[in-house]
Each structure stands twice: as C-alpha cells, then as structure tokens.
Chain A
Amino acid sequence: GQQVMQIPQYQHVQEGEDFTTYCNSSTTLSNIQWYKQRPGGHPVFLIQLVKSGEVKKQKRLTFQFGEAKKNSSLHITATQTTDVGTYFCAGLREYGNKLVFGAGTILRVKS
C-alpha cells in the first residue's frame, strides 16, 4: 500500500539555526499537505501543495513539492522556540481519497 516516509525522526537545534524535514512517498501524489502538532495537541494544517515543483512560503517556512510529485520538504529558517513540535507531511495519492500521514519529525529548539 501507499507509504509516506519522513526523515529525520527527531532534530534538536539551537535557536536561530535552520531546520529541514523531508517527506518521500512510494507512489505519485495528487497533493501533499503539512501539519504541525504541538506537544499534547492535535495536528494543525499548515499548507497544501498541488503542482509539480511548487514552492510556497509562509514567513520563515518554505515548502517544496518535488518535480515527480513523490517527495516534499519543509524548511524553517532561523528557528524560534515557538517552532517546537512535530511536523507531519500527509500525502493524497493520485487515485482515491486516502490521506496518508508520515511518522513526523520532532523538532526541539534550545534557547
């Protein structure tokens, strides 16, 4: 079945450093979504990418969708303590409506 892999599993950075998490699907995706989950909270939608090679920015966050629509990345510039949480990608396969989540990347930021 469709699998979505995410790396790294965990990253601990110094405040001000950059952070990147990568998402890879075993099948071509129709779109990809990114969510953030704070400790003790629930996943909250960040963004959706649809087009091959698409790049979107939200302040210090940059999201990319690969040309083959099988991989994606989230990059945070100059991390802040408010960025702490788990970042999930979720892929929608080309045929069907099942939104499959990756295992997530846990981000910890040292101040």
Chain B
Amino acid sequence: GAGVSQSPRYKVTKRGQDVALRCDPISGHVSLYWYRQALGQGPEFLTYFNYEAQQDKSGLPNDRFSAERPEGSISTLTIQRTEQRDSAMYRCASSLETQGAWRNTEAFFGQGTRLTVV
C-alpha cells in the first residue's frame, strides 16, 4: 500500500480479554517498529524487527505483550489478559533500511490503533 496501515483504528475491550493489533508496513520495508504513545508523550519503544527476526524486545512491558512478523511483512502485536493500564495509542512504523548511522532510516508511521481497556 501507499503507507503504513494499522488495524483496527480503534479497539475497546474488556479487562482480561486478549487483543491483536495488526500492522501492514510499506511494501519492501525491512524494519518494523512498535511503539506505544500516551497522550502528550513521545512514542515509547516496544519492539523492533528486521525482516522476520525480532531484534529487540526490551521495551515490551511484561510477558503479556508479544509480537511477531512471521513472513517479514505484516506484524501483529498481541496483548493477553488486557489491563486498564494498557490503554494507549499503539503505533507501528517501518523503514526501508535497517537502522545505522549512515543509512537513511526515515521511519514512516501508521495512523495507530487507539486501545481502550474498560
């Protein structure tokens, strides 16, 4: 597609339910990132993929959070047993190349998924 596509745009779920957030990056982009953004804050790093390999998951808050990118394209962020504190905007971004000092690694962000846990 023309840009990074995230679905759903809005998700309201009951506490304790599992949710799956989807990210469809720009075609051909190698790197894919997941961020969480609270209102008035900067994007908080969650995890990062190069192709299908999860390179860094140090930002995932706990083991209820997981992500995959099995074919190196679409990625899914799954939150199990959701809690109210999980409510936030979840953003996906992709870049053509892997990160590196001398590479042009502009990250293109999707519109995000607004998750509300009630």
Binding site for B on A (CB under 8 A): 1, 6, 30-31, 33, 35, 42-45, 48, 50, 88, 90, 92, 96-104, 106
B41 in the interface, Cβ–Cβ < 8 Å? yes
B33 in the interface, Cβ–Cβ < 8 Å? yes
Q: Interface stretch among B19-27, B60-68, B93-101?
A: B93-101
B116 in the interface, Cβ–Cβ < 8 Å? no
Contact B106 A102, beta carbon cutoff 8 Å: no
Instruction: Known A30-B100, A97-B98, A98-B58; judge A45-B44 contact (CB<8 A).
Output: no
B35 proximity list for chain A (CB < 8 A): 101
Cβ distance B115 to chain A, nearest Cβ, rounded Å: 15
In this complex, what residue of A is CB-closest to B112?
A: A42
A42 CB contact (under 8 Å) in B99, B104, B111: B111
Binding site for A on B (CB under 8 A): 31, 33, 35, 40-45, 48, 50, 55-56, 58-59, 91, 93, 98-102, 104-112
Inter-chain CA distance A98–B31, complex, in Å, is 11
A48 proximity list for chain B (CB < 8 A): 104-106
Inter-chain CA distance A78–B58, complex, in Å, is 41
A104 proximity list for chain B (CB < 8 A): 41-42
Inter-chain CA distance A31–B43, complex, in Å, is 17
Instruction: Known A42-B91, A44-B109, A48-B106; judge A97-B99 contact (CB<8 A).
Output: yes
Contact A99 B99, beta carbon cutoff 8 Å: yes
Cβ distance B23 to chain A, nearest Cβ, rounded Å: 12
Contact B50 A101, beta carbon cutoff 8 Å: no
B50 CB contact (under 8 Å) in A92, A97, A99: A97
Contact A102 B99, beta carbon cutoff 8 Å: no
A30 proximity list for chain B (CB < 8 A): 99-101
In this complex, what residue of B is CB-closest to A42?
A: B109
B43 CB contact (under 8 Å) in A1, A45, A88, A97: A88
